[in-house]
Amino acid sequence: MKNPHQFVREDEDMTDIGKQHSATSSSTSSHSDSADVALKHIVDGFVHFRNEVFPQQEELFKKLATAQSPRAMFITCADSRIVPELITQSSPGDLFVTRNVGNVVPPYGQMNGGVSTALEYAVVALGVQHIIVCGHSDCGAMRAVLNPDSLDKMPTVKAWLRHAEVARTVVEQNCSCSGELETMQVLTQENVISQLQHLRTHPSVAAKMASGQLFIHGWVYSIETSEILAYDAELDRFIPLDGSGPTPMASPKARFSAD
C-alpha cells in the first residue's frame, strides 16, 4: 500500500504537469495563431494586389513580362523596415534590388555568391548606370559588428560581417564618439564607404566607371525621419540628399571616353 502522502505528491505532480502542459499548449497555440494571422495578412495583401492594384497597372506589367531595363541597382540591408521602392517612389522594373545583412559587397574573388553574381549581371547584362549602396539607422548588423561575440550562435552571419571589419577598425581607431548612438551612426557611414571601395574591385564595375558609363552612390537612410545622407567623394563626407542641388556622387571622374 502506498503512503497517502505519496498519493498527494503524485496528484500535485500531475497537477503541475497538467498546468505545464496547458501553458505549453497555450503558448504553442498562441504562436500558431500569430503565425496564421501573419500569413493571412500576406495572402490578403496579395489578393488585394491582384484584384485592385494589378488592374490599374496591367499595361506596365505586360511590358515587364518579357524584359526588364532597370535604371539602377540598389544594394541595401535585408532589414524589413527598408523598402527601396517605397523610399525612392520607384515603379516595378525601375530598380534591380539586392539585399543582405549589413548591405555588404564582398571584394571581387572573395565570395562569388549572390551579391557578386547580381552585381555582374546588373552591370554587364542589364547595363545599369547607377549603383546605390544604402545603409540605414538602427542597423542590427552594425550593432553586431561592434559586438562580434553576440554572433557566436550565428557563425554564418559572423563570417559574412567580416566584410565590415574595416569600417569597425576605422571607427575604433579614429572616432572619439560620445556614445553608442554616435558610434553606430559613424560606423554605418564608414561601412557604406567600405562597401563602395569593395565595389570598385569588381572588374565589370571598375571598367564601366573608368569610362563614365557607371556611377556609384553611398546613402544612409534614417528610418525615424526619412532623411537620406549621401556620400560626396569630392567633399569626402555625407551631406543631406534633398534635391536642392547636384546629386552627391561617390564616383571619381571618368578617365576614358565611352567611345
84-101 residue pLDDT tens? 999 999 999 999 999 999
119-169 residue pLDDT tens? 999 999 999 999 999 999 999 999 999 999 999 999 999 999 999 999 999
Question: Is residue 1 pLDDT above 70, yes or no?
Answer: no
Return the CATH number of the domain spanning residue range 68-240: 3.40.1050.10
Least confident of 26-35, 78-87, 212-221: 26-35
User: ∠ at Cα 19 (13, 23), nearest 5°?
Assistant: 145
Q: Is 202 annotated as a binding residue?
A: no
Is residue 247 within 8 A of residue 216, CB to CB? The reply is no
42-68 residue pLDDT tens? 999 999 999 999 999 999 999 999 999
Question: Is residue 109 pLDDT above 90, yes or no?
Answer: no
In sequence order, what are the beta bridge partners of 100?
77
Q: Is 149 annotated as a binding residue?
A: no
Handedness of CA 132, 137, 140, 145 (dihedral sign): positive
Question: Is residue 11 pLDDT above 70, yes or no?
Answer: no
**What average pLDDT does the structure give for the chain?**
89
DSSP H helices, the chain, are 4-48, 58-64, 84-87, 114-120, 140-146, 155-160, 165-174, 180-199, 203-210
- When pLDDT is cut at 50, 70 and 90, the band that residue 110 belongs to is confident
| Domain ranges for the chain | 1-62, 68-240
pLDDT for position 66:
96
- When pLDDT is cut at 50, 70 and 90, the band that residue 32 belongs to is confident
Least confident of 11-20, 155-164, 228-237: 11-20
Q: Which residues of 115-152 are buried (b: 16+ CB within 10 A; e: fewer)?
A: bbebbbebbeeeebebbbbbbbbebebbebbeeeeebe
Residues annotated as catalytic (active site), given as ranges? 77, 79, 81, 136, 139
Is residue 126 within 8 A of residue 68, CB to CB? The reply is yes
pTM: 0.85
How many angstroms separate the CA atoms of 245 and 148, rounded?
Answer: 40
Q: Is 163 annotated as a binding residue?
A: no
What is the amino acid identity at position 47?
V
Least confident of 8-17, 78-87, 152-161, 240-249: 8-17
Q: Is 79 annotated as a binding residue?
A: yes
pLDDT for position 141:
98
How many angstroms separate the CA atoms of 124 and 121, rounded?
Answer: 5
Length of the chain: 259
pLDDT for position 161:
96
Q: For residues 196-206, give the mean pLDDT.
A: 97
pLDDT for position 3:
45
